[in-house]
Amino acid sequence: MASDALPNSRTEPDGSAVVRVLSYNIRSMRDDTAALARVISACTPDLVLIQEAPRFFRWRKKLARLARAADLVILSGGGSAAGPALLCSLRATVERTEDVLLPLTPGLHRRGFATAVVRFGGARIGVLSCHLSLQTGERYAQGGLLLDRLAGMGVPHAVAGGDLNERPGGRTFERLAGALQDGWAVAPWGGEYTSEADTPRQRIDALFATEGVEVLGCGVPLGLPGVSGDDLRAATDHLPVLAALRVPAATP
């Protein structure tokens, strides 16, 4: 599929909605933030699942500056979720948000989830951004907590994504892909590899959707109008993952 063929956001006559979702590790905005904002804006996302959002000094102002530059608003997360964050377009109607801190393993980095439930027209969807552990056992446990969190959100349809710190075939990746739809595997579009931005050789960032959500296309937005290779390399050390999803209308 050509990179310019990913469906645009829209609400269908039956109340379902096509939603564009972007997942992006932004390395605490330590790189070229103008390039980062241009990449995000060019992807025209309805939802942005961020990893490594600023967490420390003036983190709220930094994240707000990025959201404003990309014509988005902050949903949840950042320092209060130990790094994951959610942004959204004004198309979204927000029902609720929650930042979740995961159990801390002594000596390892604190992890968390940024979560929300939002509506687009007649469609209602749960959203979760994650950045899983570098340690194998802890990462596998966090994968289970992610699935538990999605199941407990009280919505039939959800999207989860982030930096898994693991390739397809790994125990945690397969745990998630066994319970959810792996966007790239279902409807590959654009590029596959996400790390590192200069010389991508592995897919450790992914977007997953629950059954009932139709994945229309998912992958790295290489060649998308407005997304330049220079900006992708300058923005951060990961490449983003962009998906278009058709979310069914909520039942009365």
CB 203 within 8 A of CB 167: yes
Q: Is residue 4 part of a domain?
A: no
CATH number of 210's domain: 3.60.10.10
pLDDT at 251: 85
Q: In this structure, what DSSP letter does residue 29 have?
A: G
pLDDT at 184: 98
Q: Is residue 218 part of a domain?
A: yes
| Six token digits for residue 150 | 């999605």
pLDDT at 3: 47
Nearest to 238 by CA among 149, 173, 140, 161: 161
**Is 0.95 topped by the overall pTM?**
yes
Domains held by the chain: number: 1
Q: Is residue 72 part of a domain?
A: yes
Q: Is residue 5 part of a domain?
A: no
Q: Which domain holds residue 207?
A: 10-247
CB 69 within 8 A of CB 87: no
Q: In this structure, what DSSP letter does residue 58 have?
A: T
Q: Is residue 71 part of a domain?
A: yes
Q: Is residue 252 part of a domain?
A: no
In sequence order, the 6+-apart residues with CB closer than 8 A to the CB of 95 are 116, 117, 118, 119, 124
160 bridge partner residues: 128, 208
CB 118 within 8 A of CB 94: yes
Low-confidence ranges of the chain (pLDDT < 70): 1-4
Q: Is residue 198 part of a domain?
A: yes
Q: Is residue 171 part of a domain?
A: yes
pLDDT at 220: 98
CB 212 within 8 A of CB 157: yes
Gap between the Cα atoms of 206 and 218, Å rounded: 9
pLDDT at 126: 98
